Amino acid sequence: MSDSILQTAGALFQQIEAGNPEGVAALYADDVEVWHNFSNAVQSKAENLRTLEGLIKSVAEIRYEIVERLALDGGRMMQRHNLRCRTRDGTEFVIPACIFVTVRDGKIARIDEYLDTAQANALRAATGRATLG
């Protein structure tokens, strides 16, 4: 069971790195909830896919440097990573993050994401996107 949870969660990051929001959508349950520490709000599937599409379109490369990935009880996994984004001018931004993913019936049902907003805002500013609150 924990292997399938890790595989499903791992596929999420592979699809984002590949710039494939349709692949992400296929991994999400229809009622997925995505929570972020910077807003303390939950995004729906459509809202989160728009967020991911904005990131994908604004950078030349996305890469996850996995620091730690663990299967947890209750169909969950935890991952610490450095999100590495390269802008079109070649500047690299590194955003440390920790994410919890809950998998239900083979689909991602919930994500809780904690990220360094100072680094995320530096990337957003460099790519012309509104900064996080």
**Mean of all residue pLDDT scores within the chain:** 93
pLDDT tens-digit map of 15-39 = 999 999 999 999 999 999 999 998 8
pLDDT surpasses 90 at 119: no
Beta bridge partner(s), residue 65: 82
pLDDT tens-digit map of 47-83 = 999 999 999 999 999 999 999 999 999 999 999 999 9
pTM of the model: 0.91
Domains of the chain as residue ranges with CATH: 2-126 (3.10.450.50)
Tell how strand 92-104 and strand 107-115 pair up.
antiparallel
Q: How many CB atoms lie within 10 A of CB 104?
A: 15
- DSSP-derived letter for residue 1 is -
Q: What percent of the chain has pLDDT over 90?
A: 80
Please return the burial class of 2, using the count of CB atoms within 10 Å of its CB with bins 0-12, 13-18 and 19+.
middle
pLDDT surpasses 90 at 3: no
